[in-house]
């Protein structure tokens, strides 16, 4: 495998006048400031270790930057020329070489790699870390199993600097799953020293401090307030990052985050309302990167186990009655990829996400509803997650208004963020909006979670169809064995079925939006949608 | 005196026990399943069950309660799931932030409200009385977050006079060594002028926001109680005896008008301490209000229980201090159990 200096492509955009800091900074501080990146976001980590119990999404960002994995992804030019991770190309990170054979992959570790405390990284650490990820339970174990990595016996120490991963079954997702955030390499001796009998994997220890060998280390963490990360100057698993220090502050008020950016005090922010991003983009003082979520879709789901949504005609009627364009224009200010209104003669592609052929057509919707035996409509509730109310609330109001026109009277049911997952798990909500996005960008991965009869949490509609299951299983097998013709046929088959049966109606592919000062460059889009500090540059 | 204080504290114990039981039950009665919430974005039923077991939420309620009280007796408030920290540490770190802001806000508001109230009472119907009426009406009717946002917009975003609303210190300033937890005091102890200036600058806007809000009850109460006292017999007698207006108002009238003002102050203080969540949100202030609200939103039991308990203790203490103050101001008031 060839290593590429991916920074080169990334720094191409570096330009723009230096934004002057406010007068309150003294000159000594100005120096510190030019090497420091100040990020503001709504919420911060609750745990610095992704293996921890209930680690939240901001915690993933810390793990990504403070721990190394065996392999990472190459970058490619994404939409608008922004570096976008390349799903199919891997690059070495902690491993300097990877050899894949039929039923195993062998990784040779860098001999000069050290953890933050100076201990050399050995195969023992890698094995212990991978064992930990498949053993601690909860989310990390679950994510590993998505790539058929389930048992500690699969990870074998060959010698001090060589590790072999044995495949349990042939699975196309095994290698990509080794490049996600979870299989990070942890300083095993350090953590073992701090483990207790009750906590053999030392989760309590790594929760509060980073024990890795990644490009950054956390030097201070005040939960809910700030995280300060310093560069690890001895890092060897990639080109030396340019940013020396990252200060990540939690600013709960969106308006203030925007003010901080526009005044030039903060360098980067995400999690702003769409309207703000739109306005920031328009006034041109800052750079805004908007990229579609990989393998992510916001949709309207319907519970297919209960009337009236057990009738495909009703579901199709709803699909014809949704105000797609209005949602994209008025709720997202155009910052989304439409997943609707493909022209009638467009052939189905071997890709996901792709737009379906429904469009807003009230006459057709009414006819279908009458055909289904509900000429006067019916009453139901539409539920949404208040945690993402900025998008969900106006979206549901538009849907409510539109469905009203074909006689479907809906009551809006707002569910607090803490309660949302419980409600989803119950699978009782008749009609709701939700978003799903998979870390691994493969159609069969998405469909396995969302449409398969195994009925995972994300098959929120409780949809079951033998034909669908056959197609999904077929595609997974075909992908593993490399049978392209069978794979293509199965993918097209399950996409078509998902669109004719419409248990869920895709609305749009959401965008991840990041606003930054003009002197910041090197932003990379990753499947986890968090920042990779290693590539960022402050001019 | 000491025995009386002890007696008062003894009486507070049953109410604290009540608070412990009620908050425990209330948090359990909240909708939402913390296990599902913390199991992460792609957990299945089994993963959620594993989390539930880890959090001890699969045990019967009574067992959870016994374990909770046993920990509480050892001073262990449990761990917050949202921030991942022990609740006791977190409250200890965050309480001074809220207290510093609230006390300062209250101080500023007292310094404006009391003279304003007195002046308004001594000259009813004059321009100063109208000014008092207008400011107090404006103060109560403007929601705190609105005042806060307007102040940020004008003084930070537009004029650039105020530092970025990024919490208690400038991003690049280092925290003074922790003695009291009040940054103004700690930086003075450490003789760190830069930190002092930074902490002070950061405090100006949130303090002003709180002061504007708490101005109203204090000024109104001062005015009303001064008006009542000024029309009483002993003031008339004092005036008839030829005492100077200053002596009449400050020494005789004001001292007697203080009691209701003190009561209002204590209520305003305890109210502000818990309810300045919005100010904390606007100014990214790491206080206890925003901490408790965030915990509540994510069904995080331990911090909510810890917060309510802390607030209950604070109320007991504030009431005690107010009662003692009554005795100091007006010897006729006796501190009785």
Per CB-CB distance under 8 Å, the chain B contacts of A222 are 93, 286
Q: Is the dihedral of CA B268, B273, B276, B279 positive or negative?
A: positive
Per-residue pLDDT, averaged over A442-448, amounts to 89
Which residues, in sequence order, are CB contacts of A315 under 8 Å at separation 6+?
A302, A304, A309, A501, A502, A503, A505
Closest CA to A446 of A391, A494, A508: A494
Our CA-based measurement puts residue B137 at a distance from the nearest CA of chain A, in whole angstroms, of 27
Is residue A16 over pLDDT 80?
A: no
Mean pLDDT for chain A? Answer: 87
CA Rg, chain A, in Å? 24
- Tell me which residue range forms the domain holding B184: 94-286
Determine phi and psi for B146, rounding to 5 degrees. -65, -50
Nearest to B83 among A224, A421, A457 (CB): A224
Per-residue pLDDT tens over the stretch A213-223: 999 999 988 87
Q: In the structure, what pLDDT confidence band is assigned to residue A17 with cuts at 50, 70 and 90?
A: very low
ipTM comes to 0.74
Interchain contact B153–A (C-beta under 8 A): yes
Distances in whole angstroms, Cα of residue A40 to Cα of each of A255, B98, B151: 12, 22, 20
Rounded distance, CA A197 to CA A214, Å? Answer: 28
* B173 domain residue, yes or no: yes
Rounded distance, CA A130 to CA A254, Å? Answer: 38
Nearest residue on chain A to B80, alpha-carbon basis: A46
The top-scoring range by mean pLDDT among A389-398, A422-431, B172-181 is A389-398
Interchain contact B172–A (C-beta under 8 A): yes
What angle separates helix B61-73 from helix B2-29, to the nearest 10 degrees? 150
Per-residue pLDDT tens over the stretch A352-374: 899 999 999 999 999 999 999 99
Q: B47 vs A425: CB contact, 8 Å cut-off?
A: no
Reply yes or no: is the peptide bond before residue A68 cis, omega within 30 of 0: no
| Total tally of structural domains belonging to chain B | 1
- Please report the pLDDT score of residue B31 as a whole number: 67
Q: What is the 3-state secondary structure (H, E, C) of chain B?
A: CHHHHHHHHHHHHHHHHHHHHHHHHHHHHCCCCHHHHHCCCCCCHHHHHHHHHHHCCCCCHHHHHHHHHHHHHCCCCCECCCCCCEHHHHHHHHHHHHHHHHHHHHHHHHHHHHHHHHHHHHCCCCHHHHHHHHHHHHHHHCCHHHHHHHHHHHHHHHCCCCCCCCCCCCCCCCCCCCCCCCHHHHHHHCCCHHHHHHHHHHHHHHHHHHHHHHHHHHHHHHHHHHHHHHCCHHHHHHHHCCCCHHHHHHHHHHHHHHHHHHHHHHHHHHHHHHHCHHHHHHCCCCCHHHHHHHHHHCCCHHHHHHHHHHHHHHHHHHHHHHHHHHHHHCCCCCCCC
DSSP state of A379: E
Q: B157 vs A263: CB contact, 8 Å cut-off?
A: yes
Q: In the structure, what pLDDT confidence band is assigned to residue A143 with cuts at 50, 70 and 90?
A: confident
Our CA-based measurement puts residue A448 at a distance from the nearest CA of chain B, in whole angstroms, of 13
Q: A54 vs B37: CB contact, 8 Å cut-off?
A: yes
Q: B50 vs A138: CB contact, 8 Å cut-off?
A: yes
Closest CA to B217 of B137, B310, B122: B137
- Spans in chain B with pLDDT lower than 70: 1, 31-32, 38-44, 82, 84, 274-275, 298-299, 333-337
What angle separates helix B255-275 from helix B193-230, to the nearest 10 degrees? 130
Q: B55 vs A53: CB contact, 8 Å cut-off?
A: yes
> Is residue B19 left, alpha or beta, with left meaning phi > 0 and alpha meaning psi from -120 to 50?
alpha
Q: In the structure, what pLDDT confidence band is assigned to residue A212 with cuts at 50, 70 and 90?
A: very high
B240, B242, B245, B246: CA torsion to nearest 10: -130
Nearest residue on chain B to A36, alpha-carbon basis: B172
Pairing type for strands A216-222 and A226-231 reads antiparallel
Nearest residue on chain B to A266, alpha-carbon basis: B164
DSSP state of A525: B
Per the model's pLDDT, the better-predicted residue between B13 and A463 turns out to be: A463
Rounded distance, CA B91 to CA B310, Å? Answer: 8
Interchain contact A242–B (C-beta under 8 A): no
Distances in whole angstroms, Cα of residue A194 to Cα of each of A67, A199, A462, B297: 18, 9, 44, 32
Q: Are B229 and B235 in contact (CB under 8 A)?
A: yes
Mind listing the domains of chain A with CATH numbers?
6-14+23-272+517-538 (3.40.190.10), 296-512 (3.10.105.10)
* B40 domain residue, yes or no: no
* B62 domain residue, yes or no: no
* B266 domain residue, yes or no: yes
Q: Which residue in this structure is represented by tokens 């609230």? A: B102
Per CB-CB distance under 8 Å, the chain B contacts of A266 are 164
Nearest to A425 among B36, B81, B298 (CB): B36
Our CA-based measurement puts residue B316 at a distance from the nearest CA of chain A, in whole angstroms, of 28
- Please report the pLDDT score of residue A6 as a whole number: 37
- Bridge partners of residue A227, in order along the sequence: A221, A248
* B105 domain residue, yes or no: yes
Interchain contact A12–B (C-beta under 8 A): no
* B323 domain residue, yes or no: no
Q: B32 vs A419: CB contact, 8 Å cut-off?
A: yes
Tokens encoding A533 = 């500090």
- Please report the pLDDT score of residue A18 as a whole number: 33
Rounded distance, CA A318 to CA A307, Å? Answer: 14
- Please report the pLDDT score of residue A9 as a whole number: 37
Interchain contact A404–B (C-beta under 8 A): no
Our CA-based measurement puts residue A144 at a distance from the nearest CA of chain B, in whole angstroms, of 12
Q: In the structure, what pLDDT confidence band is assigned to residue A491 with cuts at 50, 70 and 90?
A: very high
Is residue A63 over pLDDT 50?
A: yes
Per CB-CB distance under 8 Å, the chain A contacts of B44 are 142, 456-457
From chain B residues 58-97, the ones with a CB under 8 A of any chain A CB are: 80-85, 90, 93
Q: Are A370 and A381 in contact (CB under 8 A)?
A: no
Per the model's pLDDT, the better-predicted residue between B57 and A277 turns out to be: A277
* B89 domain residue, yes or no: no
Q: B201 vs A418: CB contact, 8 Å cut-off?
A: no
Interchain contact B54–A (C-beta under 8 A): yes
Nearest residue on chain B to A35, alpha-carbon basis: B172
* B8 domain residue, yes or no: no
Query: The domain that contains B192 carries what CATH number?
Result: 1.10.3720.10
Q: Are A20 and A264 in contact (CB under 8 A)?
A: yes
- Please report the pLDDT score of residue A423 as a whole number: 80
> Is residue A81 left, alpha or beta, with left meaning phi > 0 and alpha meaning psi from -120 to 50?
left
Interchain contact B166–A (C-beta under 8 A): yes
Burial (CB count within 10 angstroms: exposed 0-12, middle 13-18, buried 19+), residue A402: buried
Per-residue pLDDT, averaged over A250-268, amounts to 88
Per-residue pLDDT tens over the stretch A149-189: 989 999 999 999 999 999 988 888 899 999 999 999 999 99
Determine phi and psi for B110, rounding to 5 degrees. -65, -40
Interchain contact B164–A (C-beta under 8 A): yes
Is residue A289 over pLDDT 80?
A: yes
Rounded distance, CA A126 to CA A132, Å? Answer: 10
- Please report the pLDDT score of residue A39 as a whole number: 93
Closest CA to B183 of B172, B163, B197, B165: B197
- Please report the pLDDT score of residue A30 as a whole number: 58
Give the helix ranges, DSSP H, for A405-510.
Answer: 417-426, 443-451, 466-481, 484-501
Per CB-CB distance under 8 Å, the chain B contacts of A418 are 31-34, 37, 297-299
Q: In the structure, what pLDDT confidence band is assigned to residue A11 with cuts at 50, 70 and 90?
A: very low
Burial (CB count within 10 angstroms: exposed 0-12, middle 13-18, buried 19+), residue B109: buried
Interface probe with A: pick from B44, B84, B150, most Cβ of A within 10 Å: B84
Rounded distance, CA A8 to CA B82, Å? Answer: 38
A143, A144, A146, A151: CA torsion to nearest 10: -140
Per-residue pLDDT, averaged over A25-30, amounts to 52
CA Rg, chain B, in Å? 24
- Bridge partners of residue A162, in order along the sequence: A108, A159
Our CA-based measurement puts residue B74 at a distance from the nearest CA of chain A, in whole angstroms, of 20
């Amino acid at each position: 495998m060839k290593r590429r200096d991916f920074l080169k492509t990334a720094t191409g955009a570096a330009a723009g006048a230096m934004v002057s800091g406010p007068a309150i900074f003294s000159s000594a501080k100005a120096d510190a400031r030019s090497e420091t990146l100040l990020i503001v976001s709504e919420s911060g980590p609750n745990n610095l270790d992704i293996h921890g119990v209930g680690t939240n999404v901001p915690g993933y960002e810390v793990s990504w930057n403070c721990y190394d994995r065996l392999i990472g992804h190459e970058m490619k030019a994404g939409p608008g020329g922004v570096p976008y991770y390349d799903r199919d190309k891997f690059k070495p990170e902690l491993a300097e070489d990877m050899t894949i054979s039929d039923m195993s992959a062998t990784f040779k570790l860098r001999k000069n790699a050290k953890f933050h405390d100076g201990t050399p990284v050995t195969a023992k650490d890698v094995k212990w870390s991978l064992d930990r990820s498949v053993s601690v339970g909860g989310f990390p174990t679950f994510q590993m199993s998505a790539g058929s990595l389930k048992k500690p016996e699969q990870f074998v120490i060959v010698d001090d600097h060589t590790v072999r991963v044995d495949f349990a079954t042939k699975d196309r997702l095994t290698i990509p799953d080794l490049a996600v955030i979870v299989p990070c390499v942890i300083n095993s001796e350090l953590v073992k020293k701090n483990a207790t009998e009750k906590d053999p994997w030392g989760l309590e220890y790594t929760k509060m401090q980073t024990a890795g060998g990644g490009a950054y280390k956390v030097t201070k963490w005040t939960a809910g307030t700030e995280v300060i990360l310093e560069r690890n100057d001895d890092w060897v698993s990639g080109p030396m990052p340019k940013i020396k220090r990252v200060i990540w502050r939690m600013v709960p008020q969106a308006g203030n985050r925007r003010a901080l950016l526009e005044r030039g005090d903060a360098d980067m922010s995400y999690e702003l309302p769409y309207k703000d991003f739109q306005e920031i983009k328009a006034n041109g003082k800052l750079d805004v990167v908007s990229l579609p979520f990989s393998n992510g879709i916001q949709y309207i789901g319907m519970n297919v186990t209960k009337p009236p949504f057990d009738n495909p005609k009703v579901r199709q009627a709803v699909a014809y009655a949704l105000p797609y364009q209005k949602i994209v224009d008025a709720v997202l200010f155009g910052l989304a990829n439409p997943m609707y209104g493909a022209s009638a003669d467009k052939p189905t592609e071997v890709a996901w996400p792709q737009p379906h052929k429904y469009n807003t057509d009230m006459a057709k919707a009414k006819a279908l509803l009458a055909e289904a035996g509900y000429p006067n409509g019916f009453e139901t509730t539409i539920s949404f997650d208040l945690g993402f109310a900025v998008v969900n609330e106006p979206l549901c109001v538009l849907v409510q208004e539109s469905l009203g026109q074909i006689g479907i009277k809906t009551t809006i049911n707002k569910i607090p963020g803490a309660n949302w997952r419980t409600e989803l798990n119950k699978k009782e909500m008749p009609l709701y909006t939700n978003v799903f996005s998979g870390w691994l960008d493969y159609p069969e991965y998405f469909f396995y979670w969302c449409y398969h009869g195994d009925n995972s949490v994300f098959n929120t509609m409780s949809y079951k169809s033998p034909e669908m299951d056959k197609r999904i299983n077929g595609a997974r097998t075909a992908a593993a064995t490399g049978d392209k013709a069978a794979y293509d046929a199965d993918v097209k088959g399950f996409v078509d079925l998902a669109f004719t049966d419409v248990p869920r109606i895709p609305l749009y592919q959401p965008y991840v939006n990041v606003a930054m000062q003009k002197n910041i460059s090197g932003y990379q889009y990753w499947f986890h949608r968090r920042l990779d500090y290693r590539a960022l540059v402050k001019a | 005196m000491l025995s009386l204080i002890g007696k008062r504290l003894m009486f507070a114990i049953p109410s604290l026990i009540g608070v412990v039981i009620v908050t425990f039950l209330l948090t359990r009665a909240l909708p939402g399943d913390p296990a599902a919430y913390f199991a992460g974005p792609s957990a299945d039923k089994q993963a959620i069950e594993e989390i539930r077991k880890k959090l001890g939420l699969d045990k019967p309620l009574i067992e959870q309660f016994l374990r909770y009280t046993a920990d509480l007796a050892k001073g262990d408030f449990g761990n917050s799931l949202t921030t991942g920290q022990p609740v006791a540490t977190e409250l200890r770190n965050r309480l001074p932030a809220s207290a510093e802001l609230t006390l300062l806000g209250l101080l500023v508001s007292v310094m404006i409200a009391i003279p304003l109230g007195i002046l308004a009472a001594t000259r009813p119907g004059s321009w100063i009385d109208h000014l008092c009426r207008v400011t107090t009406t404006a103060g109560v009717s403007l929601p705190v977050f609105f005042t806060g946002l307007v102040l940020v917009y004008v003084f930070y975003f537009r004029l650039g006079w105020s530092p970025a609303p990024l919490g208690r210190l400038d991003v690049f300033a280092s925290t003074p060594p922790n003695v009291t937890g009040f940054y103004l005091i700690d930086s003075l102890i450490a003789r760190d002028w830069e930190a002092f200036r930074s902490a002070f600058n950061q405090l100006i806007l949130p303090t002003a926001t709180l002061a504007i809000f708490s101005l109203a009850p204090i000024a109104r109460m001062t005015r009303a109680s001064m008006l009542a006292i000024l029309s009483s017999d002993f003031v008339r007698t004092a005036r008839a005896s030829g005492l100077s207006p200053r002596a009449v108002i400050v020494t005789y009238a004001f001292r007697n008008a203080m009691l209701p003002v003190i009561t209002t102050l204590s209520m305003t203080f305890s109210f502000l301490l818990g309810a300045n969540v919005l100010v904390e949100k606007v100014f990214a202030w790491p206080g206890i209000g925003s901490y408790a609200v965030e915990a509540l939103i994510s069904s995080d039991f331990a911090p909510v229980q810890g917060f309510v308990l802390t607030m209950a203790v604070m109320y007991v203490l504030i009431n005690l201090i107010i009662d003692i103050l009554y005795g100091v101001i007006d010897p006729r008031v006796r501190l009785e159990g």
